[in-house]
Structure 1
Amino acid sequence: MFEPVPEGAHTASPVYLLTPEEYDRQDEFESGYEISGKRSIGKELQDTCEGDGRVFYPVHIESDVYHEKDAQTLIDWFREFTDDRLGVPFHNCSCYFSGNRSIHVHVPHFVHGEEQRERLKKQAEAFCEETGAKLDVSLYYRKGLFRLPGVTHESSTLQKVQIEPEWEHDRIISEATSVCTEPPASYAEVLRDVFVHRGGVTSPTAQSPKEEPHAEIHPHLDLDAAVLELVPDEREVETPLIEQREYPMNTFDAPGWLMYNAKEFSPYAYASGNPRSVAVIQVKGGAFARKGRRNGAPMVPVWFIGAIGCDGSFTKETEHAPLQLSEGNRKDFEKWSRQGYQNGDYVVIVGGQSRSSIIFSVTRTEALQAGYHLVRTEGSRKAALNYLSNRGYDVGASGSTSTTASRSGTATGKTKTIWPARENQGGAEALQRKAEHEGIDTLSHNERIRVACRLLRYGWEPTWEWFKERFGSSFKPEVTHCFLRGIVEESSFEEYNHIDVPALPA
């Protein structure tokens, strides 16, 4: 730790805690890394430490798309990942420009051991799949190396320099070209700058280095506070267990029995080499699991308007049954929970081999139309996806791992209002106030339906004018007319009987 960084070294490894005997053996060699013609003593010691759980991985985050995205986009990814996924305040982290095409973040924490390293990798992969972020997940492997601050990049001849999160591109490049930063004198200096100065995970009193460098990582570092404990996915996902019951004697109770006990529909079954699955459903309840079935994978009770599996042979049409959400890392269940789908919502799920599906909510009319195309017309899945695409939904391309589809544009290039999936909020009145104070774009599609249902009690005209005022210059009469008409005509309640839907304004 405290010896000088070797001349010409650009990278550092994870931290390995050696026994006194291992340290003395390593110290016998002039170079503690590579021996010509023999097995590397460094790799031998690394393997032993990994097997015994004596390895600490400094947590780094990188993105190599700095020249494709602006700096603030990368910073937003980093902030969301550290704050929301790792539970580490982003302001405690250190940001660097790599000197070429990357932004690096040094987090003032370690993960300890191979199990925690693997969890960190899965966290980063899931974050990228769910948000579209482009983080370099190849960092999180055994013996991974990271570039030291202050070293010069071979391609650009620019140094890796520390930057502030609010800096724009010009300021970053100016810093890299005008500031000469000395490389660290020792690896302990890097730890001191990242952990002690920024992170605040220090011991109450400063101590001098001990005579045996293997005994600790850094004299000022509170190792217990510096180690992250990442919770495994299995603990994050909890679903109630529904036990198998006998088929009900009363046929009236059959749908309720079937949607918990019938053969489930899996969006991922028989996916290898096959097209994507498509399911159009109405949610009928909260998630559950069954003992001895799909390893306790989360399922949702639904009414299938229509569904076709990946291989094209497994279908459901106008029937009650469970919808399976991906087990293992359970990517789809996490997305489902975050989007807050509730009883009565109409949802489309486009699955496949990745087990990370496109999931989005639709109106009742769109669900019925998509289901009709799916099970009644030639081309089935393609016809249903084409219909949804023409309605403005991003259904992805074959093999896509997009996490959530939203209305963004159509095949004709016309921009449509962005209506993402449901988010849990308060009552319709509270949602109306939120739109009036924070903007209509802060509401999801289903939340706008709730507001519209409330306003329509007072008539078509005030509801129309409210939406027109909220959208302002982006107001689209044809979209709003279709939206409000669908609520009035599809509603099973008599409270809208007094409304005569007017013709679309010229």
Structure 2
Amino acid sequence: MYKVPREQFERQAEFESGYEVTGATSIAKEIQDECEDDDRVLYPVHIESDAYHEVGPDTLLSWFREFVEDYLEVSFGTCTLYFSGRRSIHVHVPRFVSGEGDRERLKELAESFCEEAGADLDLGLYSRKRLFRLPGVEHAKTGIPKVEIEPTWDRTRIFREANGATPSTPATYADVLWSVFGQERLTVGTSGPDVDTSQSLFQVIDPEKTLLEFTRDEPASEIETPLIEQVAYPDDPADVPEWSMYNTQEFSPYAHASGNPRSVAALRVKGGAFAREGKRGGATMVPAYFYGAVGCNGEFTKHDVHAPLQLSKKDYRKWDYTPGEKVVIIGGKSGSSRILSVSSWEATVVGHALRSDKARRDTALNYLSEQGYDVGASGSTASGSKETTASRAATPDDEPRTIWSARKNPKSKAEALQLKAEQDGIGTLSHNERIRVACRHLRYGWQPTWEWFKEQYGSTFKPEVTWQFLKGIVEEPDFTKYNDVDVPPKPT
């Protein structure tokens, strides 16, 4: 939406179509450029991914939901979803960003999310004058129209609805914006168009409810080099640990990352951040005790030693850990790591796993995942460790196995949803949220998952419905990690 001054509006109105070319550009583009230069543009927030056929709709929707709710802080339930007609799902978010600075910030947020979550969003969407297809318009290569879909639809339902649809095409994009923003709670005055849809929408839109505003992270302040760095190697062995955590070879979660798996380190924070003059370009360091650490290339390790932890600018901006806290950091090429606050026992177990000779990173990541931590979209480098497979085999699905209740301080979104269901009732979860909780439990097999849902539903539990629900998850082609979960016969 361009905030066009009256004189420019009248200037364009003098031309027959408003798109006539004068010189090298059209009148419309000249006016657009002026509005962009003066930050007189409202950009509707869209999300798109072309990875539909690679990862499936469930994964796409989990990406979209996490980005919308955790990064944009907007309820995903207010968004409108469309199937593009070929290989994309489009999300229309009922929010604008204003001006070029926040448009760029939106792009940076999407980039950060993709790095953190291993997601594949179309980042080119957040450029100037980006074209975005109207609902109802057929895809040029498939002939299938862009149609509205529901988050609960599976792949089959989406294609069935798209192939059988004869949707009407909005006359202008202003009509599309009305369908997204024209809600009473997002507007003031009237909730529908009067005469001119574009002008009336602009007049009644409520900026306090629909405008996303971002505050840029301030660059990390320069850190004074601690005096201890200037001290020679101590004579007293008792002073060596403190000296080591400031002066020995640092552990970098990002080194040798190209083409290699992620690094994993379990550590105890020993002090505040510092920098070493002339070392790593003044990169931020944190004094630490390492229970265990394995670099990206699998060769550089630290075990039971005091040493500095190197932090990238991205990681330092989100570093909020004090001396004594136990942390696991999972790093890589992006420089934006997953940083988990763990218990002393969990840090010890991870450290021990990282010291083993085989599958040390896989073992550590699988253990963290089993404890309920979100270790990232890519998880470990294998679909499951031998230990995980063995533990499942040792507990046949016809024997009950305890699934512990969610902790009061959940370590992942799935565990937080489980806690919500246990406290407020499973009816407070959406269909997709119940899927996330089911996926968390299915790592332990069919029976404990079944028992948890049976307990939550109580007298309203429907065996046939729950069986079909869990069977759909286990047999979903994109969920290969449940290949070792046997589906029992349908209850009668």
1:472 Cα deviation after fit: 6.8
Mapping of residues 17-166 of structure 1, within 5 Å: 17-33=3-19, 35=21, 38-166=24-152
Aligned residue among 213, 226, 235 for 1:229? 213
Greater shift in the superposed pair: 149-158 or 63-72? 63-72
2:306 corresponding residue in structure 1: 320
Greater shift in the superposed pair: 101-110 or 160-169? 160-169
Query: Partner amino acid for 2:61?
Result: I
Contact 1:258 1:320 in 2 (8 A): yes
Flag the 1:341–1:71 CA change in 2: closer, same or farther, 3 A.
farther
Rounded to whole Å, the distance in 2 between the matches of 1:298 and 1:20 is 55
Flag the 1:155–1:417 CA change in 2: closer, same or farther, 3 A.
farther
Structure 1 residue 202 corresponds to structure 2 residue 170: no
Flag the 1:224–1:166 CA change in 2: closer, same or farther, 3 A.
same
1:297 Cα deviation after fit: 4.2
Flag the 1:29–1:263 CA change in 2: closer, same or farther, 3 A.
farther
Rounded to whole Å, the distance in 1 between the matches of 2:123 and 2:323 is 30
Rounded to whole Å, the distance in 2 between the matches of 1:63 and 1:277 is 24
Rounded to whole Å, the distance in 1 between the matches of 2:111 and 2:171 is 34
1:86 Cα deviation after fit: 0.8
1:29 Cα deviation after fit: 2.8
1:415 Cα deviation after fit: 3.9
Structure 1 residue 388 corresponds to structure 2 residue 366: no
Structure 1 residue 406 corresponds to structure 2 residue 387: no
Rounded to whole Å, the distance in 1 between the matches of 2:28 and 2:287 is 51
- Provide Cα deviations, 1:260-289, integer angstroms capped at 9, x if missing partner: 5666444446x69x7759877551217843
Flag the 1:171–1:228 CA change in 2: closer, same or farther, 3 A.
same
1:97 Cα deviation after fit: 1.5
State how many pairs are aligned: 387
Contact 2:252 2:295 in 1 (8 A): no
Give 5+ residue unaligned stretches, structure 2.
341-346, 367-374, 393-400, 416-442, 449-492
Contact 1:393 1:410 in 2 (8 A): no
1:26 Cα deviation after fit: 2.5
1:28 Cα deviation after fit: 3.0
Aligned residue among 219, 222, 225 for 2:203? 219
Structure 1 residue 355 corresponds to structure 2 residue 327: no
Larger radius of gyration: 1
1:155 Cα deviation after fit: 1.7
Aligned residue among 404, 412, 437 for 1:436? 404
Query: Partner amino acid for 1:363?
Result: V
Flag the 1:126–1:64 CA change in 2: closer, same or farther, 3 A.
same
Rounded to whole Å, the distance in 1 between the matches of 2:262 and 2:191 is 61
Mapping of residues 412-451 of structure 1, within 5 Å: 415=389, 435-437=403-405
Rounded to whole Å, the distance in 1 between the matches of 2:338 and 2:36 is 38
Query: Partner amino acid for 1:284?
Result: R
SS of equivalent residue, structure 2 residue 171: coil
Mapping of residues 335-350 of structure 1, within 5 Å: 343=325
1:187 Cα deviation after fit: 2.8
SS of equivalent residue, structure 1 residue 50: helix
Contact 1:267 1:350 in 2 (8 A): yes
Greater shift in the superposed pair: 256-265 or 218-227? 256-265
1:368 corresponding residue in structure 2: 355
Flag the 1:112–1:169 CA change in 2: closer, same or farther, 3 A.
same
Contact 2:271 2:323 in 1 (8 A): no
Flag the 1:32–1:74 CA change in 2: closer, same or farther, 3 A.
same
SS of equivalent residue, structure 1 residue 128: helix
1:133 Cα deviation after fit: 2.6
1:244 corresponding residue in structure 2: 226
1:181 corresponding residue in structure 2: 167
- Provide Cα deviations, 1:234-285, integer angstroms capped at 9, x if missing partner: 49xx99977623448965344235425666444446x69x775987755121
Flag the 1:155–1:48 CA change in 2: closer, same or farther, 3 A.
same
Give 5+ residue unaligned stretches, structure 1.
1-14, 371-385, 395-400, 419-432, 448-469, 476-506
Percent identical across equivalent pairs?
Answer: 40
TM-score normalized with structure 1 length: 0.61
Flag the 1:224–1:26 CA change in 2: closer, same or farther, 3 A.
farther
Query: Partner amino acid for 1:245?
Result: L
Rounded to whole Å, the distance in 2 between the matches of 1:276 and 1:242 is 34
The alignment's C-alpha RMSD in Å is 4.8
Rounded to whole Å, the distance in 2 between the matches of 1:286 and 1:114 is 42
